[in-house]
Structure 1
Amino acid sequence: MQEILDCLRNLGQQLDSEIAAATGIPLADVRRRLLELSKKGGIMTCHATRFIDGQKIEGMLCRAIGPASSLNPVRASKLKNNRHG
């Protein structure tokens, strides 16, 4: 499950199919692990529909819950500043 959390923290919000492609984990396993992570409070999920080149793609949209990504220091800085005032 850590591999999925790392993927979400590094890449940001992703569809379950994108997570499967990025990690090399089969989609069915990714979906099972995402449900476990959601129950534990590690991620937020919602059902989403995207249209890519006119093709309808449905999946579970996910993002990690927790500290801001180290890849976006500006956002992290703003979050820290907003907590003080």
Structure 2
Amino acid sequence: MNTESILTHLKKHGQLLDADIAKGTGIALADVRTSLLELSAQKAISMCSMTTFKNGTPVEGMFCRVSGYMPSAAPGRKPGVKT
């Protein structure tokens, strides 16, 4: 059940850190990390470890996105060469 809600959250919000996924879904961080490892093993998501610094303190996390998922293009005119 956690894996489905995490996939839905990632599709809606794009690339996120594991801590942001935990905040957004209301699932405990340890459970999110376990689910992310399962999803990565199934090749449902792409995941890499990342170190960020908050107030000079290193914070370890996992940066994730859905594999092979391309969000639809934003509506409106696109920049390009004018003729």
* Larger fraction in helix: 1
- The SS at the match of 2:30 is helix
What root-mean-square deviation, in Å, do the aligned CA atoms of Structure 1 and Structure 2 show?
Answer: 1.3
Normalising by structure 2, report the TM-score. Answer: 0.78
Q: Which 5+ residue runs of structure 1 have no aligned equivalent? A: 75-85
* Percent identity for Structure 1 against Structure 2: 47
Flag structure 2 segments of 5+ consecutive residues without an equivalent: 75-83
Determine which of 5, 14, 21 is the counterpart of 2:7.
5
Count of residues in Structure 1 that have an aligned counterpart in Structure 2: 72
**Paired letter, 2:4:** Q
Selected match of 1:67 from 45, 59, 69: 69
TM-score normalised by the chain length of structure 1: 0.76
Q: Please state how far the C-alpha of 1:56 moved relative to its aligned partner.
A: 2.2
Secondary structure in 2 aligned to 1:33? Answer: helix
Please say which structure displays the higher CA radius of gyration: 2
CA displacement 1:26-50 (0-9 Å, x = unmatched) = 0010000000000001001111011
Q: Which amino acid in structure 2 is aligned with residue 27 of structure 1? A: L
